[in-house]
């Protein structure tokens, strides 16, 4: 064996004997080397995006708000450019960066690009369409045969431009995103150019353009250009070769109709019928981009005013689009694509509904305040304590001082399941214990489909009514209260108290926000929408017990200072708070049963002395009857509180002598049974049964010499009103309220002032609302749950 073969033999032997330790140690050395390099090598900046964000945020703050959406877009473009420049960036830092790392930068996951990335009218993104500033082109389409609308459209374009563009102090038009509006006669416009897809976006000096369509449409019951136009819209929607919403790249649209009330007094008789059609087809073709509700007017009568209101609302929306690039919250999802108008069923302000199926992430069992306390303890830090014993509200200040050591928590903390449950049901929670929600009647009135019974009985405009409560907590667990299990309960106030101003501002903001979200809903009337932006009534009856709130009088004072009337419902369990209550427009007490046992079964009160409290409340109401409009609200639940209770209720009326007694059948609005309370559809009385009960009660009252009579009805919501003869003048019922008079009296005499309900008694109850006439507002159109018109009840 020569020396060479000896060495190789030795190496092979060595390898066979020690290969495992050799492999392991080599692997370990490599791993350690890799870790060392990873820790010690300088890293490249991942991406410059965070810096860019900050820089741009700063810039946005400095720019006027009208410029904001354009800035955001530039920002998006800049970031895109930065990304495209990444290879250069990595090159600059190549001395510090390995090849692998360079790859990671250039091929790494795409980062979020800042700013709103808007689509152009062609459906392209910003970057594809060019980098120039975005412009908005408003196109005003009109038709006209007797030339009125021709002139109106041209004048309107100038008005709109002046509003949108504004003028500087020296009379110069200000720079903005809006191009001068263009007016197009539908008799001359090429439909294929505008109504199959939006026009091609112009590029070049002015940058790219997004379009917004307006329509000024008179109606004609003869064959005109309107018919060809509507036919074109219909065909485009149904053409199988075209997307069903080919106009969805538009920023939005809105329609205003002209008609003549002399020949066509109501919508059922054809007032503005073609504007309604255009609105409907445009909703389909744009994928529900109704930016503002349909407006309607008669040029010889209210046309100018209506057009003015529509214009005002519309310009606000256009300004919003300029700033944000979108129609805003609620609009896209709030309309119904099929325009079926199936609204779903929601509660009205009475806590008289059973059986709603609400999918909520409920707490395992939120039965009472103790449970709430446990949840709060585990879910949120306790806020700073407020040293007041609220159970003694209205008593001496010295007694309050003694409670300074009590630690209080929030009633409905943001992190609690109660908060989640209530917000899921559509409540806006304000502060830590108040809520606001728009009721189904407010929505219905916005669409001209009827108002709640309080419009028929007392003249409340439902679309101007805010439903709220300053206390989501209650001291009963009524069997028919569908919120049972989601709202906190307790016998005394043990929570943080929010200041009344915070609640007042918060509920108004929440209400207006929800109204604004109705803007794109099919059928919402521009005129009512504009009116709804001024709250005129407040129903304090949402959920919980409003007089539980320690500063209820201050809160009421704020409502009244803005001339918002107050309708407060209490549960007859807080006599001290009731006694301390100052003037309100109408004071309700829920009377859910006529005797102790029945009340225990129905209201399931938390107070042991519930019957005594109830009786004291009736005494207070009796005393107050010449200072407040007092109302008993009876909710009839079949199998619980109707049968054989007429005399018991008559006893209560005799004791409290209220100005009015409202009798309402419990409403069923769900699909499953309310198992915990054992209520089903069988517990809902038929309207005829409610009528029979009311007739029997009236008879019983008259038998006792009590001067009451059946004054009004609202069959639609199964509600009937018995009134004291004090509100009958010359044989006519006067159940309506003179709201202006109420505020005048309040302002002149103060919240504790001496004035009687008769002093602000309104005009005669309208004929259509009186007993036997059904009570449906003749201005509105009754519809069934599918939105189909319903014949009037005879």
Asked if 152 interacts with ligand SF4 (CB under 6 A), we say: no
The answer to whether 353 contacts ligand SF4 (rule: CB under 6 A) is no
The Cα–Cα gap between 467 and 514 comes to 12
Q: How far apart are CA 794 and CA 345, in angstroms?
A: 25
Candidates 75, 137, 144, 464; binder of ligand FMN (CB under 6 A) is 144
| Single residue of 460, 556, 568, 769 touching ligand SF4 by CB under 6 A | 460
Out of 247, 317, 376, 452, point to the residue binding ligand SF4 (CB under 6 A).
Answer: 452
With CB atoms as reference, the residue minimizing the distance to ligand SF4 is 349
Interaction of residue 226 with ligand FMN, rule CB under 6 A: no
Instruction: State the Cα–Cα distance between residues 621 and 629, nearest whole angstrom.
Output: 9
* Minimum separation from the CB atom of position 304 to ligand SF4 (A): 30
662 alpha-carbon distance from chain centroid: 28
CB of 638 to ligand SF4, least distance (A): 22
- Using CB under 6 A as the binding rule, the residues of this chain from 254 to 273 that contact ligand FMN are 258-260, 263-264, 270-273
457 near ligand FMN, rule: CB under 6 A: no
CB of 337 to ligand FMN, least distance (A): 27
Q: How far apart are CA 113 and CA 415, in angstroms?
A: 31
The one of ligand SF4, ligand FMN, none whose footprint includes residue 499, by CB under 5 to 8 A per kind, is none
In the list ligand SF4, ligand FMN, none, the entry touching 349 (Cβ below 5 to 8 angstroms by class) is: ligand SF4
Rounded CA separation 296/271 (Å): 9
Burial status of residue 592 (CB atoms within 10 A of its CB: 0-12, 13-18, 19 or more): buried
Of 341, 348, 527, 698, the one binding ligand SF4 (CB under 6 A) is 348
Interacting residue with ligand FMN among 114, 218, 252, 575 (CB under 6 A) = 218
Report which of 60, 225, 230 is spatially closest to residue 146, judged by C-alpha positions: 225
Q: How many residues bind ligand FMN (CB under 6 A)?
A: 21
Residue 464 binds to ligand FMN (criterion: CB under 6 A): no
Are 211 and 193 in contact by the 8 Å Cβ rule? The answer is no
| Strand-strand pairing, 732-733 and 537-540 | unpaired
User: What would the DSSP string read from start to end of 580-604?
Assistant: H----SEEEEEE--SSHHHHHHHH-
Task: Please report whether residue 454 would count as binding ligand SF4 according to CB under 6 A.
Answer: yes
Least spacing, CB of residue 680 vs ligand FMN, in Å: 47
From residue 299 to residue 338, what is the string marking binding to ligand SF4 with x (rule CB under 6 A)?
Answer: ----------------------------------------
Q: Indicate which single residue of 49, 145, 580, 606 sits in contact with ligand FMN (rule: CB under 6 A).
A: 145
d(CA 137, CA 762): 50
d(CA 731, CA 478): 39
Q: Does position 539 bind ligand SF4 by CB under 6 A?
A: yes
* 589 near ligand SF4, judged by CB under 6 A: no
State the binding partner of 279 from ligand FMN, ligand SF4, none, CB within 5 to 8 A by kind: none
Residue span binding ligand SF4 (CB under 6 A) among the ranges 50-58, 462-470, 707-715, 730-738: 462-470
- Quote the least distance from Cβ 270 to ligand FMN, whole Å: 4
Q: Residue 563: left if φ>0, alpha if ψ -120 to 50, beta else—which one?
A: left
Chain centroid to Cα 640, Å, comes to 34
In the three-class reduction of DSSP (H, G, I as helix; E, B as strand; rest coil), residue 386 is classed as: coil
| Partner touching 460 among ligand SF4, ligand FMN, none, CB below 5 to 8 Å by kind | ligand SF4
Residue 364 to residue 6: CA distance in whole angstroms:
82
Distance between CA atoms of residues 169 and 538, nearest Å: 42
462 binding ligand SF4? (CB under 6 A): yes
| Rg, the chain, Cα only | 34
Residue from 147, 169, 384, 397 in contact with ligand FMN (CB under 6 A): 147
Binding flag, residue 777, ligand SF4 (CB under 6 A) = no
Minimum distance between the CB of residue 482 and ligand SF4, rounded to whole angstroms? 15
Q: Are 646 and 693 in contact (CB under 8 A)?
A: yes
Instruction: Closer to ligand SF4 by CB, 452 or 659: give it.
Output: 452
Nearest residue (CB) to ligand SF4, 208 versus 464? 464
Q: CA 213, 217, 221, 224: dihedral to nearest 10 degrees?
A: -70
Residue 206 Cβ vs ligand FMN, minimum distance, rounded to whole Å:
32
271 binds, among ligand FMN, ligand SF4, none (CB under 5 to 8 A by kind): ligand FMN
131 or 159: whose CB is closer to ligand FMN? 159
Residue 373 engages ligand FMN in binding (rule: CB under 6 A): no
Q: Which is nearer to ligand SF4, 496 or 666 (CB)?
A: 666
Beta-bridge mates of residue 721:
662, 712
What minimum distance in Å lies between the beta carbon of 221 and ligand FMN?
4
* Interacting partner of 458 out of ligand SF4, ligand FMN, none (Cβ under 5 to 8 A depending on kind): none
User: Closest approach of Cβ 268 to ligand FMN, in Å?
Assistant: 12
Least Å distance, CB 449 to ligand SF4, is 13
Q: Which conformational region is residue 755 in: left (phi greater than 0), alpha (psi within -120 to 50 degrees), or beta?
A: beta
Contacts of 188 (CB under 8 A, 6+ apart): none
- Quick one: 526 or 646, whose CB is closer to ligand FMN? 526
Round to whole Å and give the CA distance between 632 and 761. Answer: 18
Answer with the entry of ligand FMN, ligand SF4, none that 299 interacts with (C-beta below 5 to 8 A by kind). ligand FMN
Question: In the complex, what is the shortest distance from the CB of residue 428 to ligand SF4, in angstroms, rounded to a whole number?
Answer: 14
Give the sign of the dihedral formed by CA 416, CA 417, CA 420, CA 423: negative
Tell me the three state secondary structure of residue 387.
coil
In order of 720, 735, 745, the CA distances from 700 in angstroms are 16, 22, 35
Tokens coding 581: 């209550």
> Minimal CA–CA distance to 558: which of 414, 413, 434?
434
Contact with ligand FMN (CB under 6 A) among 131, 179, 184, 299: 299
- Concatenated DSSP letters of 758-792: GGGB-SPPPGGGBTTS----TTS--B-TTS-B-PP
DSSP state of 606: S
Q: Per residue, what are the HEC states of 659-700?
A: CEEEEEECEECCCCCECCCCECHHHCCCHHHHHHHHHHHHHH
Looking at 98-106, 143-151, 193-201, 409-417, which segment touches ligand FMN (CB under 6 A)?
143-151
Instruction: Pick the piece of the chain touching ligand FMN (CB under 6 A) from 82-90, 219-227, 243-251, 522-530.
Output: 219-227
Q: Decide which of ligand FMN, ligand SF4, none touches 147; Cβ closer than 5 to 8 Å per partner kind.
A: ligand FMN
Contact letters (x/-) for ligand SF4, 420-449, by CB under 6 A?
-------------------x-xx-------
Contacts with 438 (C-beta within 8 Å, 6 or more apart), sequence order: 466, 467, 511, 514, 515, 518
Q: Report residue 337 as tokens.
A: 């694509």
In angstroms, give the least distance from the CB of 263 to ligand FMN. 6
721 burial via Cβ count (<10 Å: 0-12, 13-18, 19+): buried
- Count of residues interacting with ligand SF4 (CB under 6 A): 12
Comparing CB distances to ligand FMN, the nearer of 216 and 659 is 216
Q: Is 783 in the site for ligand SF4 (CB under 6 A)?
A: no
Residues that bind ligand SF4 (CB under 6 A): 348-349, 439, 441-442, 452, 454, 460, 462, 465, 467, 539
Residues near ligand FMN, by CB under 6 A: 144-149, 218-222, 258-260, 263-264, 270-273, 299
């Amino acid at each position: 064996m020569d020396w060479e073969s000896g060495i190789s033999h030795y190496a092979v032997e060595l390898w066979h004997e020690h290969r495992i330790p050799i492999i392991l140690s080599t692997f370990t050395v490599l791993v350690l080397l890799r870790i060392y390099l990873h820790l010690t090598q300088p890293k490249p900046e991942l991406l410059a995006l965070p810096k860019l964000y900050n820089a741009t945020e700063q810039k946005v703050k400095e720019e006027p708000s009208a410029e904001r959406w354009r800035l955001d877009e530039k920002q998006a473009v800049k970031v895109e450019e930065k990304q495209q420049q990444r290879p250069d960036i990595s090159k600059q830092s190549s001395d510090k960066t390995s090849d692998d790392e360079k790859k990671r930068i250039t091929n790494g996951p795409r980062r979020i690009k800042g700013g709103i990335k808007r689509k152009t009218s062609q459906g392209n993104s910003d970057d594809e369409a060019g980098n120039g500033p975005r412009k908005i082109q408003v196109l005003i389409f009109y038709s006209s045969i007797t030339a009125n609308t021709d002139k109106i459209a041209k004048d309107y374009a100038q008005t709109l431009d002046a509003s949108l563009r504004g003028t500087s102090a020296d009379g110069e038009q200000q720079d903005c995103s809006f191009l001068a509006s263009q007016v197009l006669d539908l008799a001359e416009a090429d439909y294929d150019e505008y109504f199959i897809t939006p026009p091609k976006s112009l590029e070049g000096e002015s940058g790219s353009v997004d379009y917004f369509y307006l329509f000024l449409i008179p109606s004609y019951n003869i064959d005109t250009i309107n018919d060809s136009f509507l036919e074109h819209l219909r065909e485009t929607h149904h053409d199988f070769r075209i997307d069903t919403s080919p106009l969805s790249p538009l920023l939005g649209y809105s329609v205003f109709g002209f008609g003549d009330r002399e020949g066509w007094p109501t919508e059922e008789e054809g007032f503005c019928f073609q504007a309604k059609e255009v609105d409907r087809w445009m909703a389909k073709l744009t994928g529900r981009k109704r930016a503002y509700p349909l407006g309607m007017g008669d040029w010889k009568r209210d046309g100018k005013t209506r057009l003015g209101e529509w214009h005002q609302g519309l310009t606000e929306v256009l300004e919003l689009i300029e700033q944000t690039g979108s129609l805003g919250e609620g609009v896209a999802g709030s309309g119904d694509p099929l325009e079926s108008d199936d609204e779903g069923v929601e509660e009205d302000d009475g806590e008289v509904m059973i059986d709603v199926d609400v999918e909520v992430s409920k707490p395992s069992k939120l039965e009472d305040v103790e449970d709430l306390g446990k949840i709060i303890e585990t879910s949120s830090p306790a806020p700073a304590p407020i040293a007041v014993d609220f159970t003694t509200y209205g008593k001496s200040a010295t007694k309050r001082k003694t409670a300074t050591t009590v630690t209080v928590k929030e009633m409905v903390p943001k992190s609690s399941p109660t908060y989640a449950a209530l917000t899921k049901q559509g409540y806006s929670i304000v502060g830590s214990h108040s809520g606001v929600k728009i009721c189904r009647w407010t929505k219905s009135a916005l669409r001209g489909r009827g108002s709640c019974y309080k419009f028929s009985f007392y003249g409340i405009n439902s679309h101007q009514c805010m439903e709220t409560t300053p206390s989501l907590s209650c001291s009963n667990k009524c069997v028919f209260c569908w919120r049972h299990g989601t709202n906190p309960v307790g016998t005394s106030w043990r929570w943080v108290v929010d200041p009344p101003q915070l609640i007042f501002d918060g509920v108004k903001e929440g209400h207006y926000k929800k109204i604004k979200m109705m803007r794109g809903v099919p059928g919402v009337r521009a005129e009512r929408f504009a009116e709804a932006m001024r709250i005129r009534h407040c129903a304090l009856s949402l959920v919980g017990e409003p007089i539980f709130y320690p500063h209820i009088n201050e809160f009421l004072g704020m409502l009244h200072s803005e001339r918002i009337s107050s309708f407060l419902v209490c549960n007859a369990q807080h006599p001290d708070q009731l006694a301390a209550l100052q003037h309100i427009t109408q004071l309700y007490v829920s009377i859910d049963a006529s005797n102790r046992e029945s009340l225990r079964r129905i209201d399931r009160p938390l107070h042991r002395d519930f019957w005594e409290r109830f009786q004291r409340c009736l005494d207070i109401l009796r005393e107050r009857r010449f200072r407040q409009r007092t109302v008993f609200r009876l909710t009839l639940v079949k199998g619980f509180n109707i049968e054989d209770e007429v005399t018991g209720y008559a006893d209560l009326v005799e004791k409290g002598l209220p100005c009015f007694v409202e009798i309402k059948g419990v409403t069923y609005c769900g699909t499953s049974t309310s198992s915990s309370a054992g209520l089903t559809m069988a517990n809902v009385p038929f309207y005829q049964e409610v009528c029979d009960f009311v007739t029997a009660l009236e008879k019983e009252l008259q038998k006792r010499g009590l001067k009451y009579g059946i004054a009004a009805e609202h069959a639609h919501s199964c509600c009937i009103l018995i009134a004291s003869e004090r509100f009958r003048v010359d044989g006519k019922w006067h159940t309506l309220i003179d709201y202006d008079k109420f505020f005048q009296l309040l302002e002149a005499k103060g919240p504790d002032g001496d004035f009687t309900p008769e002093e602000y008694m309104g005009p005669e109850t309208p004929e259509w609302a009186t007993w036997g006439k059904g009570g449906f507002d003749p201005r509105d159109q009754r519809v069934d749950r599918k939105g189909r018109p319903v014949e009037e009840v005879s």
